[in-house]
Amino acid sequence: MNAQFKKGVLELIVLVSVKKKDMYGYELVEEVSKVIDVNEGTIYPLLKRLTNDHYFETYLKESTEGPPRKYYHITAAGIMYTQDLTKEWTEFYKKVEDFLLRNEGN
Amino acid sequence: MKKEEFFNILSKRLSVIEENELNDILSEYKQHIEFKMQSGVDEETAIADFGNIDRLVEDILSAYHVRNDYDNKKSKNFYSEKSKNIFDNFMIGVKSICKNISMYINSLLKVVVNFSKKLTNKILSIFNKDTDKNIQNCDKENDLKKSTSTSKTKPNSIFFKIGSKLNRLFHFMGVAIMRTLLLFYNIFVDLVGFITGIFALISILLFGTSLVLLFQNFPFVGVSIVLLGLSMTLTALTLLIFTFAIKKIEQNDIQESTNNSETSENNEFYGTTENVQEEIKNA
């Protein structure tokens, strides 16, 4: 998959995943990897950026094995941002889809 | 790449980030690597899955809205700092040389002072012997005759007074000579500095005028360069010369030495003579 496509969509996938359920870093990497093949190096900085922009909150939770895990939780601003992004994505997707259909039809 | 290397590089290149935050990031990566290793991946491939470390650093920095070329800028600044340090070191070296020269002169002056002190002490010691003899004489005479002792000790006491006064005179003369020498030296240094300073100012003035003439297309390139060099060297020279002037250290030394010697010798001399006189009076 094209790297530029990935980068654009990755943010949306991460936001939607965390909106559904609070997750810790590694869990999120695994979740995202189901959809797109992405390297871990891009996900953690993205999580950091979303946290710094106040779309995510973090909290520590003890785990049965190993050190406490840092969970990501979506904020109200994050939910609004996810809605905007989803809208943008669907509009963009529709436009591209229409364009492709029209041109393939000819 | 091993774990330690990976974290060393990250912590070095992300040093702009606050320590708590940095530790937070690093601990998260550490946890991620541990999870991966638990799932059966070895250390090196787990780290390799993070991709290019340069890209990783760039991404993390951009998450904090920090410029990616922060590291490059830092290295540029490093060079300017280095050159600054060289200049500072040079100035420190010049200062230390000046200090050493002035210290040398100081020590020379101290030697002269000490020599004069020893001379006066030797002269004093001659008088001291006389006083000791006189005291012994007094005691004997006191034992022998009480009524005539007062009249006989009078010339002796006058002799003491002359001695002590001579001692003080010698000392005062030594100090005065040292002070005048110092004064003349300082005047000489200041004068030389003043003259070179005036020349420096004149050369700066000439440099300015020649520069003006230069920009009016006169063939003054060589002259202006020479004057620039001259003005710089002369100002440097004046500053150097003024550092040769001896100010506080030497004066303090002289004062201390004079105070000490005066007090101690006064006690010895006046103490003995007065005691003797009192004894005589009491008797």
Asked if A45 and B60 come within 8 Å (Cβ–Cβ), the reply is yes
Those residues whose C-beta lies under 8 Å from the C-beta of residue A1, and which sit 6 or more positions away, are A36, A37
Least confident of A58-62, B158-162, B252-256: B252-256
Asked if B31 and A26 come within 8 Å (Cβ–Cβ), the reply is yes
Whether residue A73 has pLDDT greater than 60: yes
Q: Which residues of A touch B27 (CB under 8 A)?
A: 67
CA closest to A65 among chain B residues: B35
The ipTM is 0.79
In this complex, is the C-beta atom of B94 within 8 Å of any C-beta atom belonging to chain A? no
Average pLDDT, chain A: 88
At position B84, the amino acid (one-letter code) is K
Whether residue B158 has pLDDT greater than 70: yes
Q: Which residues of A touch B26 (CB under 8 A)?
A: none
Burial level of B204, CB count in 10 A (0-12/13-18/19+)?
middle
Q: Which two tokens stand for residue A39?
A: 């390297």
Separation of alpha carbons A76 and A74, rounded Å: 7
pLDDT given at position A42: 81
pLDDT given at position A58: 92
**Mean pLDDT to the nearest integer, B226-237:** 85
pLDDT given at position B271: 47
Q: Which two tokens stand for residue B77?
A: 């600044």
Asked if A40 and B32 come within 8 Å (Cβ–Cβ), the reply is yes
Asked if A39 and B25 come within 8 Å (Cβ–Cβ), the reply is no
Q: Are B15 and B26 in contact (CB under 8 A)?
A: no
- Confidence tier at B225 by pLDDT (50, 70, 90): confident
pLDDT tens figures, B141-151: 555 544 444 44
Share of chain A above pLDDT 90, in %: 48
Asked if A66 and B59 come within 8 Å (Cβ–Cβ), the reply is no
**Mean pLDDT to the nearest integer, A64-73:** 86
CA closest to A29 among chain B residues: B32
pLDDT given at position B47: 86
- Confidence tier at B83 by pLDDT (50, 70, 90): low
Separation of alpha carbons A24 and A72, rounded Å: 6
pLDDT tens figures, B2-57: 888 889 988 888 888 888 888 888 888 888 888 888 888 888 888 888 888 888 88
Provide the shortest C-alpha distance from residue B4 to chain A (in Å): 17
Asked if B32 and A25 come within 8 Å (Cβ–Cβ), the reply is yes
Q: Which residues of B touch A55 (CB under 8 A)?
A: none
In this complex, is the C-beta atom of B55 within 8 Å of any C-beta atom belonging to chain A? yes
- Top-ranked range on mean pLDDT: pick from B15-24, B132-141, B253-262, B268-277: B15-24
Alpha-carbon torsion (B234, B235, B236, B238), positive or negative: positive
**Mean pLDDT to the nearest integer, B109-123:** 80
Provide the shortest C-alpha distance from residue B5 to chain A (in Å): 16
Q: Which residues of B touch A66 (CB under 8 A)?
A: 31, 34
CB pairs under 8 A between A and B: 54
Whether residue B270 has pLDDT greater than 60: no
CB atoms within 10 A of CB A24: 20
Q: Which residues of B touch A69 (CB under 8 A)?
A: 31
CA closest to B36 among chain A residues: A26
**Mean pLDDT to the nearest integer, B207-226:** 77
Residue B234 CA neighbour count, 13 Å, CB half: 20
pLDDT given at position A21: 93
What DSSP assignment string belongs to A30-93? Answer: HHHHHHS---HHHHHHHHHHHHHTTSEEEEEE--SSSSPEEEEEE-HHHHHHHHHHHHHHHHHH
Whether residue A71 has pLDDT greater than 60: yes
Q: Which two tokens stand for residue B183?
A: 């004064």
pLDDT given at position A40: 80
pLDDT given at position A80: 94
In this complex, is the C-beta atom of B16 within 8 Å of any C-beta atom belonging to chain A? no
- Confidence tier at B133 by pLDDT (50, 70, 90): low
